[in-house]
Structure 1
Amino acid sequence: MPNADVIIIGSGIAALMTAYYLHEDNNVIIFTKSNKERSNSWLAQGGVAAAVSKEDNWRCHYEDTMIAGCHHNDEKAVKILVREGPKQIQELISKGFRFDTDERGHLQLGREGAHQFRRILHADGDATGRKLVSFLLKELINKVTIVEEEMVLELLITNGRCAGVKTKKQSGEVGCYYASATVIATGGCGSIYAFSSNASTVTGDGIALAYRAGAEVADMEFIQFHPTMLYVNGKAVGLISEAVRGEGAILVTEDGRKMMESIHPQKDLAPRDVVARTIHAEVLQGNNIYLDISMIANFSKRFPTITQLCRSYGIDIESGKLPVVPGAHFLMGGIKVDVNGQTSIPGLYAVGEAACTGVHGANRLASNSLLEGIVFSKRLAETLRNYIKENMFVETSPHTDNHFVKKITKILPTKQKIQTLMMQYVGIVRNESGLKHAKQWFEQFSIPDLLNVDLDELTTEEITIINMLITGWLITTSALKRTESRGGHYRTDYPLMDENWKGTRIMRTKEELFVNA
C-alpha cells in the first residue's frame, strides 16, 4: 500500500503550483485521469491579472473583483488575492518564467472586461496557461511522482479524516494510496454543459468526490459563461479570449449592429455575465453574432492560438468576423474551504477552481483564475507543511469508514444527454419550471444511491457519468434555492439582487440530502 506526505488530484496550475511549493520537503504524488497536459490551465488564453503597473494598485484590483462578483465575494479572500498576487508574479519571474515584454523589456499589460486598468500579463500572446503549465512540469521533473491515466474513484476516510485515495487504472486495476494530506485540484465542471470552453475531462469529478465523502460544497449555482466561443456548424469548438475585446474587437449582429453599444457603460468590456446574456437573447431571436476583429493590427501575431483554432475550422480571419456563442467557462462555487484550503473534512484540502474560498463571488473577474491558482496554492503549501509536521502519516491498515455497497439499479444516461439538459434548463438564463424539470430528471437516478454506489466494478466512463449527475444535481438544486438573480445565476422569474445586500452562501451537505430524501 503506497503512501506519501501529500496526494494531489489534478494537473492544472493549482495542482502543479502546490506541488512546486511542497516538493523540497515532502513526498508528493499527483494523480490525473488523463495526461498531465490535459487541463483547463493548459487551455487558458487570457493571462494573469495583477496590479503591477505604476498607475494601478491592489485597491483598484480589489474593487474590480468585488464589483464583478456582485459583492458576494469573501472580502478577506479577495484582499489576499490582489495583495499577494504581484509578489507571486515577481517570484515567478525571478525563478525564470517569462511573461511578454515590449522592446524596452517592460511587461506588456493587456486589458479585459470589467478591469479599470491594463493589468493582464500574457506569455507567448494567448498561450499563457500552456506556458505556465510547461514551466512547472519542467521544474517538477524527477521531484514529484506524476501518475497519468489513473482516475481517483473515492477518498478514503478513516476515523473521520481523509487518509488517501482509491484509484482505477485504464486496465481496470484498483489500488489504494495513503497520505497525511489529500488535495483536490481537479478544476470545475464546465464540460457537463453542451457548449463549454473546458477540457473534455473537466466533469466535476473533484466536487463529486468530496461530496460523496461528506464534505460541504457552496455556491454551486454560480456558473460563468464565457461570451465568445468560436461557433462552427452548431457547435462551440474553442475559446476566443476576452483579450481580443480588450484590444478593441466588438460584438456585432449579422447586419453590423454594435450589440453592446446601449447595454452597459463598459460596452464590449462589460462583465461576462452581462455580455453572455445579451448574446444569448440575440441568439434566441434567431440572430447570428460575430466578433468584429477588423480593427486589430497583426491579429495572427498577437493571437496565434486563436488564429490556429480558426484556421483549423476553416474560418477566415481576414474576413474580420468570427462567429461566436457563449459557453460554460468557470465555476465560482465548489468545495467549501477557508483561505488556507481546508475543507470540512480533516486531512482533505482543495485549491483552484474545484475550491470555493468565496474569492470570485457570484461572477469571476477576467484573468483572476490563474492568479487564484498561483496565490492560494502557495498558502495551501505553507499550511500543509505545518500540518504534516504535526500529523505524520501512521495509518497502514486498509480499514476505512467507507461503506459503498449499493449497486446501480438504473441505466445511466449518456454524457450528451446530461450536457443538453444542463444547457437548456440550468444554463445562462434560468427559471423555476425549468430548474424543477431538471431536478426531477436528475433525481430519477436516485442521488442518494449514487452517493453510496460501489464504484470498483464500474468503468471510468460510468464513474464520470455518475460524477456528472451528482454535480449537475448540486448546481440545479442550488439554483432553485437562490431566489434572486446575481452574477452568473440569472433567473427570469426573480429580479436582480439588491446592490446593498451581500447575499448568503448556499451550502450543500450530504447529510442534508438524506434528511430531505
Structure 2
Amino acid sequence: MDFHSQHLIIGTGLAGLYYALEVAKKESVIIINKSKMQNCNSTWAQGGIAAVMSESDSFEKHIQDTLAAGANLNDTEVVKQVVENAPDAISHLTKWGVKFDRDSQNQLHLAKEGAHSERRVLHVQDHTGKDIHEKLLQKAVEHPNIQIFEEACAVDLLTSKKLHLKPNEQNRCFGAYILDVKTSKVFTVGANFTILATGGAGKIYLYTSNWDGATGDGIAIAHRAGARIANMEFMQFHPTCLYHHHAANFLITEALRGEGAVLVNEKGSAFMDEKHPLGSLAPRDIVARGIDEELKRTGADCAYLELKNKDEDFLLAHFPSIFEKCLQLGIDIRKEPIPVVPAAHYLCGGVLTDKDAMTDIAGLSAIGEVACTGLHGANRLASNSLLECCVFAQKAAHKNLSRSADFKLPENLKVPAWKDHSKTDKDEMIVISHTWDEVRRLMWNYVGIVRSNKRLDRAQQRLEAIISEVGEYYWDFKMHRDILELRNLTTTALLSVKCARKRKESRGIHYNIDYPEISEDEAYSTIIS
C-alpha cells in the first residue's frame, strides 16, 4: 500500500467531514476530494436543516411529514431514528461553531418549507450548507489525525473479491485505488474502513442544481465492487432553479415560498392552486411536475416566483444570496418575479445501507446523498438531506469505532500496482465531451420529470451502447479525471433507467404515463445487485 489509514473517506461534503471529526477523536483519517475541499453539493444547500425545536412541533409530526412526502415508501424505523436524533445533530453542529439564525427575542428562527406542517428548518440566512461546511472543514484541516488529499479521484475499491481472497466469505473492502489528478498516476490507500461520501448524481441530467463533480462516482464504484443499489428512479427535480443564461445551477430555495412567494405563469396566474391543496408549497415532485405541465401547456420557457409585501431589510436578513444574485442579473425581486425552471436536484436512491450506514460489503459504509438509507422513500422532504448526513455519519462513526479491533487489514496483504496505459489520442477529449453531452440530453429527454416505457427502453438501449464505447477508451488510454467521471456517469445513468423500468407505477418523484397511478403491489424498493 502507498498510504494507510484506519479510515478512508471518499468525499468532503457534510457527511464526510462530520464522520471524519467523530472518528478522528480516536483514530487516523484520510479524506480525498477529486477537486478542492470546498467543492461539493453541501455548500450549495440554501434552505437549512430540519429538526423539531419548538413546543408546537413534535417528532411525530416530523415523522408523518417525511412519510407523506416519501409516498410511504420510506423505512419507518429509519425515519423515526433520524427525526429523533435531529436535536442531537444540531447540538453537535453548534458546538463546532455553526450559528443558526435567531429572531429579535434570541430564539432560533425556524423557517417553513414545502410539505412541512410546522416551522422547523434551522438556517444560516440562505447559505446554510456553505456555512456549516466551512465550519467543519476548518476543524478538519486543523485536526492532527486527519490527512487531506485534494485532486484525488477514487478509481475502484480494493476488495477481497477483486483481489481473489477468501471467495467463500463476505466480500470485504480494504481501501481504494486513487488517481492523482495532477500527475495522472494511480496509487493505493489501504484502510480498515472505507466510507463513500461522494454525494449525488445530478450531472447525469442536462439541467441540474448540482456542482460539476456530481457524477455518481460512489454509486458506480460501489456497484462495480458488488454492493446493491436501490431506488435510482427517484431523482428529485427541484422546482425552482433560476432561469437565466448567466446563472447556471443557481437554486431558489423553497424557503422563499414558505415566506409567501407564489408560482405564477407569464400571465401572473397562480397555476399551482388548482393542482394541489398546498398550492406552491406542495411537495417538490408535485410542484416540479406542475411547472413542467404548465410550460408544455403554454409553450413558455419558464415559470415565475412572485414575492409580495417583503421589504429589502427582510430579504437581506433571510435571503441575501438570492437577493444579491438576482440584482446582479438585473432582476429586482422587490418589484418583479423571479424566472424559474425545474432541474435535477437530489437523488433519493443510491448504495443500499442498513440503519448504521453499512453496505453489503464488509468495511464499506455509505453516508449522505450517495446512500439509499430508507429515509426519503419516493421523495425527499425539504431540508431532511443535511439532517440525514449528520445522523448517519454519527451512526457509521460509532459503529465502526466499536468494532475497530476486528477490522484491521490482513497481514501481508498484497495489492497489485495499477497497470497504467500511456497511450493518448488527440480526438479522445472531443469524444468524451460529446458523449457526456449525449448522455445528459438523453437522460433529460427520456428519463426526466415525465417518463414512458418507450422512452425508458430507448434510453437503456443507447446507454448500454455508450457504456461499451466508454469502456474501450477507459482501458486503452491514459487515466484522467474526465474518463473516470464519464465512466461513472454512464454507469449511474443506466442504473437509474433500470430501476425506472422495474417500477410499474407512478409514485413520488417517479412518474410514468404508462402507469399513471400508485399501486400498493409496487410498494417496495427497486434493487439492483
TM range (shorter): over 0.9
Residue in 2 that maps onto 1:346: 362
Report the residue type matching 1:289 in the other structure: A
Counterpart residue type for residue 444 of structure 2 = M
Q: Does structure 1 residue 304 correspond to structure 2 residue 315?
A: no
Match of 2:54 in 1: 53
1:281 aligns with 2:293: yes
Which amino acid in structure 2 is aligned with residue 434 of structure 1? R
Letter in 1 for 2:523: G
Pair 437,16 (structure 1): closer, same or farther in 2 beyond 3 Å: same
- Give the equivalent residue in structure 2 for 1:141: 141
Is 1:294–2:314 an aligned residue pair? no
How far apart, CA to CA, are the structure 2 residues paired with 1:358 and 1:305?
A: 32
Letter in 2 for 1:268: S
**1:15-164 to 2 correspondences below 5 Å:** 15-123=16-124, 125-143=125-143, 144-158=146-160, 159=165, 160-164=171-175
| CA contact 1:455–1:463 (8 Å) conserved in 2 | no
Q: What SS is found at the alignment partner of 1:260?
A: helix
> Structure 2 matches for 1:230-241, cutoff 5 A?
230-233=242-245, 236-241=248-253
SS in 1 for 2:273: coil
The alignment partner of 1:339 has SS state of coil
Post-superposition offset of 1:190: 0.6
Instruction: State the Cα distance separating 1:400 from its structure 2 match.
Output: 6.3
Moved more, 387-396 or 73-82: 387-396
Letter in 1 for 2:109: Q
RMSD: 2.4
Could you tell me the percent identity over the aligned residues?
Answer: 40
Q: How do residues 329-368 of structure 1 correspond to structure 2 at under 5 angstroms?
A: 329-368=345-384
SS at match of 1:319: coil
Amino acid at match of 1:152: A
From the superposition, tell whether residues 84 and 452 of structure 1 become closer, same or farther in structure 2 (CA, over 3 Å): farther
Q: Is the 8 A contact 1:71 1:502 kept in 2?
A: no
1:294 CA displacement: 2.7
Q: Specify the code of the residue in structure 2 equivalent to 1:387.
A: R
CA shift, 1:206, in A, is: 0.7
| Residues 389/194 of structure 1: CA separation in 2 closer, same or farther (3 Å cut) | same
Give the superposition deviation at 1:138.
1.7
- Aligned equivalent of 1:176: 188
Contact 1:404–1:454 under 8 Å retained in 2: no
User: 1:86 is matched by which residue type in structure 2?
Assistant: P
Residues 85-94 or 147-156, more deviating: 85-94
Amino acid of the residue matched to residue 473 of structure 1? Answer: L
Q: CA deviation at 1:263?
A: 1.1
Give 3-state SS (helix, strand or coil) of 2:345's partner.
strand
Do structure 1's residue 491 and structure 2's residue 512 form an aligned pair? yes
8 Å contact 1:157–1:401 — kept in the other structure?
no
Q: Which range moved further: 246-255 or 283-292?
A: 283-292
Task: Give 1:235 deviation, angstroms.
Answer: 7.4
Deviating more after overlay: 347-356 vs 139-148 = 139-148
Distance 2:377 2:386 in 1: 16
Cα separation, 2, equivalents of 1:446 and 1:403: 21
- Post-superposition offset of 1:482: 0.6
Distance 1:447 1:72, change over 3 A: farther
Partner of 1:465: 486
Q: Secondary structure at the match of 1:110?
A: coil
The one-character-per-residue Cα deviations of 1:177-214 (angstroms, maximum 9, x if unpaired) are 10001000000101111111111111101101111111
CA drift at 1:372: 0.3
**1:432–1:235 CA distance, 2 compared to 1 (3 A):** farther
How far has the Cα of 1:236 moved from its partner? 4.8
Q: Which amino acid aligns with 1:283?
A: L
Q: Does 1:316 align with 2:338?
A: no
Asked if 1:328 is matched to 2:348, the reply is no
Deviation at 1:139, TM superposition (A): 1.6
C-alpha change, 1:501 and 1:234, in structure 2 (3 Å) is farther
Which of 432, 435, 442 does residue 414 from structure 1 map onto? 435
Match of 2:527? 507
* 8 Å contact kept, 2:257–2:281: yes
| Cα pair 1:44 1:127 within 8 Å, conserved | yes
**What amino acid sits opposite 1:138 in the alignment?**
Q
Q: Is the 8 A contact 1:276 1:428 kept in 2?
A: yes
Aligned to 2:497: 476
Residue 448 (structure 2) pairs with residue 427 (structure 1): yes
In structure 2, C-alpha distance between the alignment counterparts of 1:41 and 1:163, rounded to whole Å: 27
Partner of 2:211: 199
1:311 Cα shift?
3.0
Deviation per residue, 1:235-290 (Å, 9 max, x gap) = 75410001000000000011110111111111111000000001011112313410
2: CA distance between counterparts of 1:69 and 1:172?
Answer: 42
**CA deviation after TM superposition for structure 1 residue 140, in Å:** 1.7
Tell me, what secondary structure is at the counterpart of 1:238?
A: coil
SS at match of 1:317: coil
Contact persistence 1:248–1:296 (CA under 8 A): no
* CA displacement 1:49-91 (0-9 Å, x = unmatched): 0111001011100000000000000111101110111122123
* Matched-pair contact (CA < 8 Å) for 2:363–2:407: no
Q: Which moved more, 1:172-181 or 1:150-159?
A: 150-159
The letter for the 2-side match of 1:330 is Y
8 Å contact from structure 2 (residues 505, 522) kept in 1? no
- 2: CA distance, partners of 1:221 / 1:295: 39
Question: Does the 8 A contact of 1:10 with 1:32 survive in 2?
Answer: yes
Residue 37 of structure 1 and its aligned partner are, at CA, apart by 0.7
Residue 265, structure 1, aligned to residue 281, structure 2: no
TM-score for both structures, normalised by structure 2 = 0.91
Give the structure 2 partner of residue 9 of structure 1.
Answer: 10
Contact preservation (8 Å) 1:157, 1:402: no
- Separation in 1, partners of 2:402, 2:239: 42
Listed as ranges, the matches of 1:215-230 within 5 Å are 215-230=227-242
In structure 2, relative to structure 1, the CA distance for the partners of 1:244 and 1:396 (3 Å cut) is farther
Secondary structure, aligned partner of 1:484? coil
Native 8 Å contact 1:195 1:235 kept in 2: no
Q: CA–CA distance in 1 between the matches of 2:106 and 2:93?
A: 16
